[in-house]
């Protein structure tokens, strides 16, 4: 019987264009259920796909602080999130939620 060889899945390898990145972030926002660290991790995935060094430069942040902020282990400041979203070439939009009141 042959051994099965597996590799670690990295979503960043599959985010090839801005449309895929935006769709991924949108799904993560829907699934996060208020978990800001989860959103930070999703932004980190997109930043790695784009190139963390370039995103850090475009956001005006150090690469190390960007890695820490988007690790998913902490919740970055909202101003950091906004800088990263802009540096990624994405924009944050809103729409009315379907909430029964």
Q: Per residue of the chain (101 residues), what is the pLDDT tens digit?
A: 889 999 899 999 999 999 999 999 999 999 999 899 999 999 999 999 999 999 999 999 999 999 999 999 999 999 999 999 999 999 988 888 777 76
> Is residue 98 situated within a structural domain?
no
The CA distance from 69 to 11, in Å, is 18
- The pLDDT assigned to 101 comes to 62
Other Cβ atoms less than 10 A from the Cβ of 8: the count is 4
The CA distance from 43 to 78, in Å, is 12
Determine the structural domain holding residue 62 and report its residue range: 17-87
- The pLDDT assigned to 99 comes to 74
> Is residue 53 situated within a structural domain?
yes
Return the closest-CA partner of residue 45 out of 65, 60, 28. 28
> Is residue 71 situated within a structural domain?
yes
Residues 6+ apart with CB under 8 A from 72: 37, 38, 40, 41, 44
- The pLDDT assigned to 1 comes to 80
The structure's pTM equals: 0.87
């Amino acid at each position: 019987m042959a051994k099965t060889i597996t590799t670690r899945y990295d979503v960043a390898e599959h985010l090839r264009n801005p449309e895929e990145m935006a769709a991924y972030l949108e799904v993560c926002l829907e699934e996060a259920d208020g978990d800001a660290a989860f959103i930070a991790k999703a932004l980190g995935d997109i930043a790695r796909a784009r190139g963390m060094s370039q995103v850090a430069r475009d956001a005006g942040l150090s690469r190390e602080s960007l890695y820490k902020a988007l690790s998913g282990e902490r919740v970055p400041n909202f101003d950091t999130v906004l800088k990263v979203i802009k540096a990624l070439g994405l924009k944050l939009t809103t729409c009315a939620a379907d909430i029964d009141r």
